[in-house]
């Protein structure tokens, strides 16, 4: 028996070690990594988690790579986070942690403006089998991705699924965002893709949107459809009264605000570093000058909002909350478009915000007003001005870059809405100084010469010829900055533009008088803020305060000083303007009103260069 036992023991000792046997991680190393993470030292935590992953295997290894990826992400290192994610054997993770991996992948993809990759990371999971906290995050990321891809149908469906997971305040904003998505769909799509039947919640949203989109506002058919909707969906959470039909002005709670008569504190959220630093300084000085001129007792609280444009991260939400904690009545800012977007998407705004930039879409948000000097606004203003002059046919000349494409596209869109015709459009290389190859075909001189040559061949002898531009052009829309405008306007005259009106955006003018340089702009028409016209500006006390104190770069950044001034002057006007889009007041940047989306609109003044000086045109 002894020999048998010894033989059995020796056989056991000779068995190979199972390579799949999991190692046990060193608990002191795990604790150190966790403590580093909890203290905010994410770089150290990530490195320690990587070391743990490399010294363990199977489930522990996969988990540590995941923890490393999360730590790298917290440290704003998306490259290392992505590398760590790629090392994970997902089959070794629990179902919940596999979802954590997908959520992090989606978040990184969205930060890199890759919505398709974000959706791909999340698509394989069944939301019905996922815990609510993870489900909420996944739906919020899906909504962001669908917004970027303009997949309004799936965005609406995601908002419907998200609603039960939110508290009351968040649910109200979610309803507004859902409604905006539904309003992007045609009545046919709303009917065809209605996901349920009465009296289900999802079906009710689509049916309500269908009624609003399919029938004219205030019509008998709409009234009948609404009665039927109330009967079919008696307990539906939607309140049709707060959802405006497309194209109709909403004067209810959606954009209107109710500020107290006596405003004691205002917070201003502006960056102190980065690419917006100089613009923010000018806006800040404009606000302070307006405040001093008004001799107000209101307290101004300046809070720094910094945005990482590479990663799309910002502290704007935290700074907004700091402002709320100071019991301010209004927040002015932020300035950076990314920060405005994050603020619009992240929180319910208990304190009204006057943002100093404007988002591309027309979606509205309660208590958010968007005020900016967008180049596209100038282009739309030119289209409307030309329409008011009775012009019908235009040619467009813009620089060969994205900035030029944006402005010319905005002009063409509005011009076509006005039933205008674009006869021709051309682009120029800003690196060149001779634009003959662009201007001659744009004005029809090449065609004129071809007609002369054809006639010469027909009659068999040389004829006297003077090229003529095409005569069916009503005006030329010019997109250019001052240096190029000073080159292009004389060359257009040389190539027989004659008395053809040339209309440009404000970008063609520096904003301050320089007759010797601007003599080449004679007869050019531009729309600009009142402060660039000396005759108008001297009547503004804030302008006089700034011009006499002569702050640095005042002339070069005059439009931004004016933006800051108007932001301050808008505060006591917000209640009235947000309640009635037909009201306006005269500001430093133009006649200011607020539309149904909470966007501040401006009607600028028009001027024409004469002897190198911009002279205001009569209204």
Domains with residue ranges and CATH for the chain: 27-242 (1.25.40.10), 255-373+532-596 (3.40.50.2300), 376-531+597-616 (3.40.50.2300)
Dihedral, CA of residue 560, residue 564, residue 567 and residue 569, to nearest 10: -120
Task: Encode burial over 381-390: b for 16+ CB neighbours within 10 A, e otherwise.
Answer: bbbbbbbeee
User: What are the tokens at 58?
Assistant: 């199977």
- Contact of 384 with 606, CB cutoff 8 Å: no
Length of the chain: 619
What would the DSSP string read from start to end of 296-311?
--PEEEEEE--EETTT
Q: How many CB atoms lie within 10 A of CB 235?
A: 7
Q: What does pTM read for this prediction?
A: 0.59
* 338 closest CA partner among 306, 366, 369, 292: 306
Per-residue confidence (pLDDT) for residue 243, from 0 to 100: 63
397 forms beta bridges with 426, 478
* 477 closest CA partner among 381, 563, 578, 370: 381
User: What are the tokens at 550?
Assistant: 């002569």
Residue for token digits 């009103």? 593
Per-residue confidence (pLDDT) for residue 347, from 0 to 100: 65
* Ranges of residues in the chain whose predicted pLDDT is under 50: 1-22, 247-254, 446-461, 463-466
Per-residue confidence (pLDDT) for residue 21, from 0 to 100: 45
Per-residue confidence (pLDDT) for residue 18, from 0 to 100: 44
Q: Three-state DSSP class for 78?
A: helix
List C-alpha distances in Å: 338 to 360, 374, 477.
11, 15, 31
Distance CA(503)–CA(387), nearest Å, equals: 12
- Contact of 444 with 470, CB cutoff 8 Å: yes
* DSSP code of residue 17: P
Per-residue confidence (pLDDT) for residue 23, from 0 to 100: 59
Pairing of the two strands 475-478 and 502-504: parallel
């Amino acid at each position: 028996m002894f020999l048998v036992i010894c033989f059995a023991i020796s056989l056991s000792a000779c068995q190979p070690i199972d390579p799949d046997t999991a190692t046990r991680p060193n608990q002191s190393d795990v604790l150190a990594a966790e403590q580093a993470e909890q203290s905010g030292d994410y770089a150290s935590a990530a490195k320690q988690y990587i070391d743990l992953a490399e010294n363990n295997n199977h489930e522990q290894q996969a988990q540590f790579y995941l923890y490393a990826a999360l730590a790298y992400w917290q440290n704003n290192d998306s490259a290392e986070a992505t590398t760590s994610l790629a090392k994970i054997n997902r089959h070794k993770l629990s179902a919940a942690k596999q979802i954590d991996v997908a959520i992090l992948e989606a978040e990184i993809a969205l930060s890199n403006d890759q919505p398709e990759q974000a959706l791909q990371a999340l698509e394989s999971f069944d939301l019905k089998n996922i815990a609510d906290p993870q489900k909420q995050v996944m739906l919020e990321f899906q909504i962001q991705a669908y917004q970027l891809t303009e997949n309004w149908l799936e965005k609406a469906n995601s908002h419907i699924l998200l609603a039960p997971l939110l508290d009351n305040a968040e649910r109200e904003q979610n309803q507004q965002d859902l409604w905006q998505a539904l309003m992007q769909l045609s009545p046919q799509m709303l009917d065809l893709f209605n996901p349920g039947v009465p009296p289900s919640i999802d079906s009710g949203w689509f049916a309500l949107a269908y009624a609003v989109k399919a029938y004219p506002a205030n019509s008998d058919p709409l009234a009948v459809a609404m009665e039927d909707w109330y009967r079919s969906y008696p307990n539906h959470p939607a309140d049709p009264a707060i959802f405006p039909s497309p194209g109709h002005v909403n004067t209810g709670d959606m954009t209107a605000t109710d500020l107290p008569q006596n405003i004691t504190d205002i917070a201003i959220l502006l960056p102190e570093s980065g690419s917006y630093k100089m613009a923010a300084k000018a806006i800040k000085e404009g606000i302070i000058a307006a405040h001093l001129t008004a001799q107000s007792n209101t307290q101004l609280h300046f809070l720094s909002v910094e945005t990482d444009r590479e990663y799309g991260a910002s502290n704007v939400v935290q700074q907004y909350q700091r402002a709320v904690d100071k019991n301010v009545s209004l927040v002015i800012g932020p300035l950076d478009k990314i920060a405005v977007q994050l603020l619009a998407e992240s929180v319910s705004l208990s304190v009204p915000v006057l943002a100093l930039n404007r988002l591309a879409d027309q979606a509205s948000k309660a208590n958010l007003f968007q005020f900016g000097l967008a180049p596209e606004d100038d282009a739309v203003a030119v289209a409307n001005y030309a329409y008011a002059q009775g012009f019908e046919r235009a040619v467009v000349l813009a620089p060969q870059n994205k900035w030029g494409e944006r402005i010319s596209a905005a002009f063409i869109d509005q011009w076509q809405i006005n039933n205008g015709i674009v006869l021709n459009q051309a682009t120029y290389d800003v690196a060149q100084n001779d634009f003959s190859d662009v201007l001659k075909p744009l004005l029809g001189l090449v065609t004129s010469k071809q007609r002369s040559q054809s006639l010469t061949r027909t009659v068999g002898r040389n004829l006297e010829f003077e090229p003529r531009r095409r005569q069916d052009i009503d005006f030329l829309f010019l997109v250019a900055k001052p240096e190029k405008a000073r080159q292009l306007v004389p060359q257009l005259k040389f190539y027989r533009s004659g008395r053809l009106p040339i209309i440009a955006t404000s970008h063609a003018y520096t904003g301050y008088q320089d007759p010797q340089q601007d003599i080449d702009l004679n007869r050019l028409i531009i729309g600009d803020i009142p402060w660039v016209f000396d005759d108008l500006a001297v009547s503004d006390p804030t302008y006089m305060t700034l011009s006499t104190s002569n702050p640095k770069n005042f002339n070069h950044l005059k439009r931004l000083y004016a933006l800051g001034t108007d932001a301050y002057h808008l505060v006591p006007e917000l209640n009235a303007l947000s309640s009635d889009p037909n009201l306006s007041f005269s500001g430093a940047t133009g006649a200011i009103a607020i539309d149904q989306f909470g966007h501040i609109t401006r009607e600028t003044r028009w001027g024409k260069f004469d002897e190198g000086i911009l002279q205001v045109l009569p209204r």
